[in-house]
Structure 1
């Protein structure tokens, strides 16, 4: 597994991490036993970065990770990033010190730690991203020892660039995948120059880039891939990266053809899967710190982690990704996020 430095945290983390929204059981049941198995399989496969949030299962994801850390022991070598800001309506007046203290205290209790490794504001409105008072409050939490570092999880490239310009922002989390290329234009270069870590979420476009969906695929009622296709619950860009489902299937098929020639990890006689190629491509982008695919089973966690040791895909693969994006999505997606 490759490692990168996670921006201004100074921490070395695995090129492929683990996103844990699904472990909160917000979109499909996942037992605690299965959740712990996923965390264990990821860690045993070289993953050293877990990403969670205080609202994933109303704290369940954090609690399961906390139990895993205790079971693993004090020398677990893992970095855990959590998020805050969505326990109340996303209004600028709610992003104040009193709430920050309450939210971080809750997360510290859930995770069983004195100091949170990394806290990210959870896709706040632009007025929060540009607020001097917000960063002053976050700096106070660092000085008090409640958090080690802070960053922002954002929806748009303009928000990412505003966050990167702040001197003490350690990381920015943003959607980057083969269907969402705009961050490659300015965000990754700006982050690299500023020493800010980039965490890529939704690397498989809600699973579409794994190449397993068809027009007949159905999702559970409580699955955001069903209820949020129109963006009625949160930013539509979080579901299938905001692409039209039918167009996404066409593009996923083209990506599958591009990925078919990707070799497996060193010593493997099995070609990489389409999902592994998609994850590996994001993880290998210049300026990328880590990419956080989710996993609902131990085998899926192991397969995702293996993407972190695939051979370099190279510029010809990137050219192919850009060609697919230009043909299917640039006009509709590039101006929006």
Structure 2
């Protein structure tokens, strides 16, 4: 597994990280034994970055990671998030409440301090007010957190965050079906030494190439209840694409791929070919998925002709169908 520096944290993180939303049973029931196996296989594959949040499973994801950390010889870089808990979101943000949520994450993870805490898609007006960043800087000075960043929904919000003093990272939706960051955010992040963490690299599984129009999802899965933005921002599910349109686009995209690469490999490798990307948060509900994701780090970069085709495909076929802004 190859590594990259994560912005001003100075930490060498694996190019492929492990997204841990699914460890909170938020995509359907996941046995504790399997969750622990996923974490162990990720470590065996050289993945040293775990991404979770206090609200994933109401703390279950953090708790499972914490129990795994206690028995693991490896000490990965753990990212968690704050800001979507019921005591905060959408309009009850106070310094004490944010501190309490962070302390809850520290307890569940079994850590003395958080490696990195990111604001978790908080309302833009709260983000842009800026006071919450002052609180995070205070928590950093107090030793509760080592670094702080922001996970956002819109690229304009990410660009705003790049101006915040001491901000270490931005986490964004970025993939073959959502390419706006290339010309706008990535250069700004590099200029300010801010690590770029990519989420939804496979557009909620569309870019795995394994879904069909009759795909069924569990009741707990956001791909069931949020496919049209009923529960939270529509862009967080299938990249903001209507599901059936997403399947059609995937079928078209497969036709332009070289025979030696599948869609998952192409999608993750394309992201790694962007030099400003620090790490990709790839979720996995089985150890086999972890291994497949990790192997992409060692694939050769895509050739220029394929890269041009993928960018042209996005501009001509995908961009106009994305709902909720970019």
Tell me the TM-score normalized by structure 1. Answer: 0.93
- Equivalence for 2:71: 71
Count of residues in correspondence between the two structures: 325
* Structure 1 position 286, deviation (Å): 2.0
Q: Is the 8 A contact 2:67 2:109 kept in 1?
A: yes
**1:174 matches 2:172:** yes
**1:323 matches 2:305:** no
Alignment of 1:241-280 (within 5 A): 241-261=239-259, 271-280=260-269
**CA distance, structure 2, for counterparts of residue 154 and residue 259 of structure 1:** 31
* Structure 1 position 91, deviation (Å): 3.0
Tell me the TM-score normalized by structure 2. Answer: 0.96
**CA distance, structure 1, for counterparts of residue 143 and residue 304 of structure 2:** 43
| 4+ residue segments displaced more than 6 Å | none
Q: Is the 8 A contact 2:45 2:294 kept in 1?
A: yes
* Structure 1 position 146, deviation (Å): 0.4
Measured against aligned partners, the alpha-carbon deviations of 1:147-189 in whole angstroms (never above 9, x if no partner) come to 0000000000110001011121100001001111111121111
- Equivalence for 2:14: 14
Q: Is the 8 A contact 1:209 1:275 kept in 2?
A: yes
**CA distance, structure 1, for counterparts of residue 25 and residue 237 of structure 2:** 17
**CA distance, structure 2, for counterparts of residue 66 and residue 14 of structure 1:** 20
Task: Point out where structure 1 has 5 or more consecutive residues left out of the alignment.
Answer: 262-270
Q: Is the 8 A contact 1:80 1:116 kept in 2?
A: yes
Is the deviation greater in 303-312 or in 317-326? Answer: 317-326
Alignment of 1:201-240 (within 5 A): 201-240=199-238
Alignment of 1:1-337 (within 5 A): 1-73=1-73, 76-88=74-86, 90-92=89-91, 94-261=92-259, 271-333=260-322, 336-337=325-326
* Structure 1 position 219, deviation (Å): 1.4
**CA distance, structure 1, for counterparts of residue 112 and residue 17 of structure 2:** 23
Cα 1:319–1:335, aligned 2, differ >3 Å: closer, same or farther? Answer: farther
- Over the residues paired in the alignment, what is the CA RMSD in angstroms? 1.5
Task: Point out where structure 2 has 5 or more consecutive residues left out of the alignment.
Answer: none
Measured against aligned partners, the alpha-carbon deviations of 1:282-316 in whole angstroms (never above 9, x if no partner) come to 12212100001100000111111111111111332
